[in-house]
C-alpha cells in the first residue's frame, strides 16, 4: 500500500486547496512553536522569505519524523511591508491598526513550501504576491471589521481575500494559491516530477 501524502498543517484553507485539486492526503499539524523559531530569525535580520522558508521546512521535518516514509508538505507564509514583518493580529484593535498601516501601500505575501521525508528536506520553493491596498479611512476599517468579525484575526494581514477582504484592494500581482498560502502550481509540478501523483 502506498504511503499517504501528508499536509503538515491544520489550516482549513490549505487543506481545501489540496482537496479541490483532487489529491488524496492526510493532514497532521506540526508540533512546533512557530514564534520561538521565528523570533531569533527576525532578530538576526533574516528576510521575510527566509523566515517563511525556515518555518515551512521545520513543519515538514517535524511531521515527517513522526510518519516514516511518508512525503510531507510543510508551508508557511510571511507578510512584509518594507522591512516590517507582520504577524496575526491578537485583537480587533490590532487588526484595525494592521489595515490602516497597509492603506495606500503595496505589501508582499511570501509563501514558502517544503517537502520532507524521514526528517530530511527533499524540495522547497517560495512564491510571492504583491498586494496593493486602496486608501482606507478609519471609519471604513471600523465598519469592515464589524462585518467580518473575528475572522480578521485568522490571517496575518487581517483580511481574507476569498471573502470581504477583496474590497480592500485595488491591484493584486500574484496567483490565488500563493495568496492563500500554498503555491499550488509549483507543488503539483514537483509531485508529478517525483511520481507522487498522476502526470
Q: Which residue stretches of 7-47 are H helix? A: 12-20, 34-43
Q: Is 199 domain-assigned?
A: no
Cα–Cα distance between 128 and 43 in angstroms, integer?
23
Contact yes or no for 115/71 (Cβ under 8 A): yes
Candidate list 76, 124, 173, 198, residue with the active-site label: 76
76 is catalytic: yes
Cα–Cα distance between 55 and 72 in angstroms, integer?
14
The parent domain of residue 156 ranges over 5-194
Q: Is 157 domain-assigned?
A: yes
Q: Is 109 domain-assigned?
A: yes
Q: How many domains does the chain have?
A: 1
Cα–Cα distance between 134 and 12 in angstroms, integer?
28
pLDDT digits 0-9 by tens, 17-48:
999 999 999 999 999 998 899 889 988 989 99
Q: Is 156 domain-assigned?
A: yes
Q: Is 137 domain-assigned?
A: yes
Query: Which domain CATH number covers 135?
Result: 3.90.950.10
Contact yes or no for 110/178 (Cβ under 8 A): no
Angle between helices 48-66 and 34-43 (to 10 degrees): 150
pTM above 0.85, yes or no: yes
What does the pLDDT average to over 173-180?
92
Beta bridge partners of 169: 133
pLDDT category, 162, cuts 50, 70, 90?
Answer: confident
Q: Which is more confident, 83 or 189? A: 189
Q: Is 24 domain-assigned?
A: yes
In terms of Cα–Cα distance, which of 62, 88, 102, 199 is closest to 150?
88
Q: Would you call 31 helix, strand, or coil by DSSP?
A: coil
pLDDT at position 1 is 41
Amino acid at each position: 500500500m502506498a504511503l499517504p501524502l501528508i499536509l503538515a498543517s491544520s489550516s482549513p484553507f490549505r487543506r481545501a486547496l489540496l482537496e479541490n485539486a483532487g489529491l488524496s492526503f492526510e493532514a497532521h499539524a506540526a508540533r512546533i512553536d512557530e514564534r520561538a523559531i521565528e523570533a531569533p530569525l527576525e532578530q538576526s535580520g533574516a528576510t521575510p522569505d527566509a523566515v517563511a522558508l525556515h518555518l515551512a521546512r521545520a513543519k515538514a521535518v517535524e511531521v515527517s519524523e513522526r510518519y516514516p516514509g511518508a512525503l510531507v508538505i510543510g508551508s508557511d507564509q510571511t507578510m512584509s511591508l518594507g522591512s516590517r514583518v507582520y504577524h496575526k493580529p491578537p485583537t480587533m484593535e490590532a487588526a484595525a491598526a494592521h489595515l490602516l498601516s497597509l492603506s495606500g501601500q503595496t505589501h508582499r505575501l511570501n509563501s514558502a513550501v517544503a517537502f520532507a521525508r524521514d526528517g530530511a528536506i527533499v524540495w522547497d520553493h517560495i512564491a510571492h504576491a504583491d498586494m496593493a491596498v486602496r486608501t482606507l479611512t478609519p471609519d471604513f476599517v471600523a465598519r469592515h471589521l464589524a462585518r467580518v468579525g473575528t475572522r480578521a484575526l485568522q490571517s496575518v494581514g487581517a483580511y481574507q481575500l476569498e471573502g470581504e477582504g477583496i474590497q480592500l484592494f485595488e491591484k493584486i500581482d500574484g496567483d490565488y494559491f500563493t495568496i492563500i498560502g500554498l503555491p499550488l502550481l509549483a507543488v503539483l509540478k514537483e509531485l508529478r516530477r517525483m511520481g507522487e501523483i498522476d502526470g
